C-alpha cells in the first residue's frame, strides 16, 4: 500500500509508532494532539491507508536571536529573526535507511516554503536529537550552530534546492 500523507487527525493511530527514539515516539502519542489543539505545533503523518502512523513531522513558528547565530549566517538580519521550526521528524524503524528520510524532509520543507509565502521566515531551524540526526540534517544542507545541537538553513536556499 502506498504511503498517504495527511495532517494529524482523530482517526490516526499513534500508538504503534516506534522510531528508536523514545522521546520522539512518546511526544507523538501523548502530546501531538494537545499541541495541535493549542496551536503550538502542526503535525503531519504518513500511513499506509489504515491510519496507523509510520512517520511524522511537526512544524511551528519560531524566532531566532541574531546574536546566537554565526555572523556569516546572521548578516543582514534584524535582532529577532522570523523562522520556522521543524520541531520533530521521524520514521518508524521499519522505514529507515531506504531514502525515505530525504523524502519526508523534502515534504516538510515544501510545506514550510508554502507557509512562508504568507508568513515570512528567513530560516528553518532544527534541534538534532543526537549526532546521527545532526549529520542527516547537515547532509541535507543545514548548517550547525557551533556549541549547540541546533542547525539552520536559509529559506532562500531551501526554496532553491526544492526547485531543482
Ligand X SMILES: CC(C)(COP(=O)(O)OP(=O)(O)OC[C@H]1O[C@@H](n2cnc3c(N)ncnc32)[C@H](O)[C@@H]1OP(=O)(O)O)[C@@H](O)C(=O)NCCC(=O)NCCS
The residues of the shown chain that bind ligand X, judged by CB under 6 A, are 19-21, 24, 89-91, 96-102, 128-129, 132-133, 135-136, 139
The residue at minimum Cβ distance from ligand X is: 101
Q: Can you list the alpha helix ranges (DSSP code H) found in the chain?
A: 22-30, 32-37, 71-74, 100-115, 131-139, 155-163
Between 77 and 100, name the residue whose CB sits nearer to ligand X: 100
Output the smallest distance, CB 130 to ligand X, in A.
7
Between 19 and 74, name the residue whose CB sits nearer to ligand X: 19
56 in catalytic set: no
d(C-alpha 41, C-alpha 57), whole Å: 10
Contact 64, 125 (CB under 8 A): yes
Residue of 137, 142, 151, 158 marked active site = 137
d(C-alpha 110, C-alpha 34), whole Å: 24
Contact 59, 111 (CB under 8 A): yes
Contact 127, 149 (CB under 8 A): yes
Output the smallest distance, CB 126 to ligand X, in A.
6
Output the smallest distance, CB 16 to ligand X, in A.
15
Between 51 and 141, name the residue whose CB sits nearer to ligand X: 141
Residues classed as catalytic? 137
Amino acid at each position: 500500500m502506498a504511503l498517504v500523507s495527511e495532517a494529524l487527525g482523530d482517526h490516526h493511530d499513534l500508538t504503534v509508532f516506534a522510531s528508536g527514539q523514545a522521546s520522539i515516539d512518546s511526544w507523538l502519542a501523548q502530546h501531538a494532539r494537545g499541541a495541535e489543539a493549542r496551536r503550538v505545533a502542526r503535525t503531519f503523518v504518513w500511513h499506509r491507508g489504515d491510519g496507523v502512523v509510520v512517520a511524522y513531522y511537526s512544524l511551528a513558528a519560531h524566532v531566532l536571536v541574531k546574536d546566537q547565530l554565526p555572523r556569516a549566517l546572521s548578516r543582514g538580519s534584524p535582532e529577532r529573526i522570523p523562522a520556522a521550526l521543524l520541531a520533530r521528524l521521524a520514521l518508524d524503524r521499519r522505514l529507515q535507511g531506504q531514502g525515505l528520510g530525504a523524502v519526508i524532509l523534502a515534504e516538510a520543507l515544501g510545506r514550510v516554503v508554502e507557509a512562508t509565502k504568507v508568513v515570512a521566515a528567513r530560516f528553518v531551524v532544527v534541534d538534532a536529537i543526537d549526532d546521527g540526526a545532526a549529520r542527516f540534517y547537515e547532509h541535507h544542507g543545514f548548517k550547525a550552530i557551533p556549541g549547540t545541537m541546533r542547525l539552520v538553513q536559509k529559506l532562500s536556499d531551501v526554496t532553491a534546492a526544492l526547485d531543482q
